[in-house]
Amino acid sequence: MEKDWHICVPTDKFSEAIAVFARLHDEYEPADKILPQLRSLLHTYPRLKSKGIDMAFYIMPASEHFTEDFDETMMERSRNHIPYPKLEYFAQSLVRNQSWPELCHLVDGMDLTEDWGYENLYLGEADGKEIDFIANKNKKIMASYGDFPNLNPVLATLSPKPKDRRKKWLRIVGEKERMDHKILGYVKTGPYELVLNLTIVHNTAHQKSSSIAAAGAKSSAEAKYKIIDRVANFKETEAQRPDFDYSNAPIPVTKSPNPDWEYGSGVRQDATARDAAHREIDPYAADRPMVSNYRLLVSGIAPRPVGFLSTVSADGQSKNLAPFSYFQVIDHDPPMFVVGFSARPGRVKDTYRNLAETGECVINTVSENMIEAVNATSIDAPYGVSEWDISGLHEAPTSTVRPSRVRESVFSVEGKVVDIKEFNDHAREGMSIASLVLIKATRFWVREDATNADVSHIDLNKLRPIAQLGGMAYGRISSTFDLPRPRWNDEQPKSEHLTKLDPAISKSE
């Protein structure tokens, strides 16, 4: 996997940019040259590295990737204000440069669909201007292979008149990441590459090398991180749906799905459950994007309760609220809870840092009427913006920990951290560490009208818990049924099947 950054500078400032880095020889030095690349001029551009850091970058003219009219409007900025080409322009540049392996990675990493390509890319025949661009590039490519005269020009250069790019797109979205193994000679792959303009090149050149490396790793991680989908036209889609049922009608209790079920009879009414084929998946396979594991797990391990955690920073200055559905109560004696924190580009989540530094939190339940406010607290707000203010939820006092509990929650649990496990063996460059935190309850708070006299039960009709499902779906409980827990001594005498299985009985016969 190629780790190098590609720093595009305005084409007319290319030599100036090289001169800037040459002047900064205390901080940057030439990196090892690479072998000529097929269909690319990469090996012809200066490759530099920050001294003492194993991370190289190329400086290249923007014309290598983009057409002359590429400007600020075609860029967006990361949270660190690093400019990137907008996705559609970057994808188009890969089409233009016939960089099919990179396009495969982009399609996979950003989960681009067939329709996205048709809507955002020009996949028609190359016009005269593009044909000239290719001819010119091919000339330069062939000239750069001076020392490798035996290279086959057909393999080494771009197709002079690219055709059928719609078909190619269809194949790429259909086959996902497998294409690069099929193209002979392609060794470079790459994440979403970086575009910097000359001003930024100046600024970064004066930063500490380590922060450049960290920022590089983070932006590369950010480019691949695809957990939160941008949803187009959600309000329009939602407008077509029926209204939420606010009636608060009592949740009905029905019979169980199969009240006549008998021991040993398995799943009787649904042959597919028994006969359907299953696909085996290696979650760590090299061609499996992390986001596929995320989507598979959150849609497959569902419903999940949402633990809504209130924490404060070690200096007490910053209060935090955030929802977590990698969350469960794992015992009642002592009352213990677990919360899983996912890795993300950059720093760890504030809730995790607060838990690690202060050892305290309040876990609040999430009822139907709270969900919009709770969901809003997951926003990636700038540091220091309070999620209490974002959500409009209210603080209520606690007695054994410093963070407040959420007044609107039917049930809240004050808790202290008893253990933390960081998944160091899975640490990745640019990503925060993934971890889990074990929390022991120190106090419970239950809404008066939602509990019974000895405070041993919470009324489901009052709690109205929300479950998190796959994608952006949440679920509500719309009916329940009861199913008594079986005990061998009660059940065995009534069941021939259990009697046959009972080792004590079969031995004595």
Ligand X SMILES: Cc1cc2nc3c(=O)[nH]c(=O)nc-3n(C[C@H](O)[C@H](O)[C@H](O)COP(=O)(O)O)c2cc1C
Interface stretch with ligand X, choices 33-41, 138-146, 342-350, 450-458 (CB under 6 A): 342-350
Output the 3-class SS for 317-337. CCEEEEEECCEEEEEECCEEE
Verify binding: residue 318, ligand X, rule CB under 6 A. Answer: no
Q: 168: helix, coil or strand?
A: helix
Interface stretch with ligand X, choices 8-16, 41-49, 168-176, 334-342 (CB under 6 A): 334-342
| CB nearer ligand X, residue 303 or residue 340 | 340
Q: Which residue do the tokens 């209210």 mark? A: 394
Residue 363 corresponds to which tokens in the numbers above? Answer: 């876990």
CA distance 350 to 315: 13
Q: Which residue do the tokens 């983009």 mark? A: 66
Residue 297 Cβ vs ligand X, minimum distance, rounded to whole Å? 11
Q: Tell which one of 83, 305, 340, 359 touches ligand X (CB under 6 A).
A: 340
Q: Tell which one of 351, 358, 364, 404 touches ligand X (CB under 6 A).
A: 351
Verify binding: residue 349, ligand X, rule CB under 6 A. Answer: yes
Verify binding: residue 294, ligand X, rule CB under 6 A. Answer: no
Verify binding: residue 144, ligand X, rule CB under 6 A. Answer: no
| CB nearer ligand X, residue 11 or residue 378 | 378
Q: Tell which one of 62, 104, 126, 322 touches ligand X (CB under 6 A).
A: 322
Residue 484 Cβ vs ligand X, minimum distance, rounded to whole Å? 32
Q: What Å distances lie between residue 331 and 12, 325, 338, 438, CA to CA?
A: 66, 17, 10, 11
172, 100 Cβ separation under 8 angstroms? yes
| CB nearer ligand X, residue 192 or residue 324 | 324
| CB nearer ligand X, residue 13 or residue 353 | 353
Cβ neighbours, 10 Å, residue 182:
11
CA distance 167 to 173: 10
Residue 212 corresponds to which tokens in the numbers above? Answer: 């450049």
Q: Tell which one of 47, 326, 462, 495 touches ligand X (CB under 6 A).
A: 326
* # residues contacting ligand X (CB under 6 A): 18
Cβ neighbours, 10 Å, residue 149:
7
For ligand X, the binding residues in 400-459 under the rule CB under 6 A are none
Residue 466 Cβ vs ligand X, minimum distance, rounded to whole Å? 8
Q: 38: helix, coil or strand?
A: coil
Residue 134: which residues within 8 A CB-CB, separation 6 or more?
126, 158, 159, 160, 161, 162
Q: Tell which one of 325, 404, 409, 432 touches ligand X (CB under 6 A).
A: 325
CA distance 233 to 413: 38
Q: Tell which one of 341, 388, 411, 445 touches ligand X (CB under 6 A).
A: 341
Measuring CA to CA, which residue among 76, 83, 31, 91 is closest to residue 58? 31
Q: Tell which one of 220, 320, 391, 409 touches ligand X (CB under 6 A).
A: 320
Residue 305 Cβ vs ligand X, minimum distance, rounded to whole Å? 10
Interface stretch with ligand X, choices 169-177, 345-353, 438-446, 448-456 (CB under 6 A): 345-353
| CB nearer ligand X, residue 128 or residue 300 | 300
| CB nearer ligand X, residue 325 or residue 404 | 325
Verify binding: residue 350, ligand X, rule CB under 6 A. Answer: yes
> Does residue 503 have a cis peptide bond before it, meaning omega lies within 30 degrees of 0?
no
Q: 459: helix, coil or strand?
A: coil
For ligand X, the binding residues in 458-497 under the rule CB under 6 A are 468
Interface stretch with ligand X, choices 9-17, 82-90, 341-349, 454-462 (CB under 6 A): 341-349
Residue 381 Cβ vs ligand X, minimum distance, rounded to whole Å? 8
**Going residue by residue from 374 to 393, which x/- string records binding to ligand X, judged by CB under 6 A?**
-x--x-x-------------
| CB nearer ligand X, residue 192 or residue 327 | 327
CA distance 305 to 475: 10
CA distance 134 to 129: 9
| CB nearer ligand X, residue 252 or residue 382 | 382
Cα 504 to chain centroid, rounded: 53
Residue 500 phi/psi, 5-degree rounding, is -65, -30
Residue 185 Cβ vs ligand X, minimum distance, rounded to whole Å? 41
226, 291 Cβ separation under 8 angstroms? yes
Residue 320 Cβ vs ligand X, minimum distance, rounded to whole Å? 5
| CB nearer ligand X, residue 168 or residue 349 | 349
- Find the Cα–Cα–Cα–Cα dihedral 178, 182, 183, 188, rounded to 10°: 50
Measuring CA to CA, which residue among 283, 289, 69 is closest to residue 192? 289
For ligand X, the binding residues in 60-119 under the rule CB under 6 A are none
Residue 253 corresponds to which tokens in the numbers above? Answer: 């209790």
Residues lying near ligand X in the complex (CB under 6 A) are found at 306, 320, 322-327, 340-342, 349-351, 375, 378, 380, 468
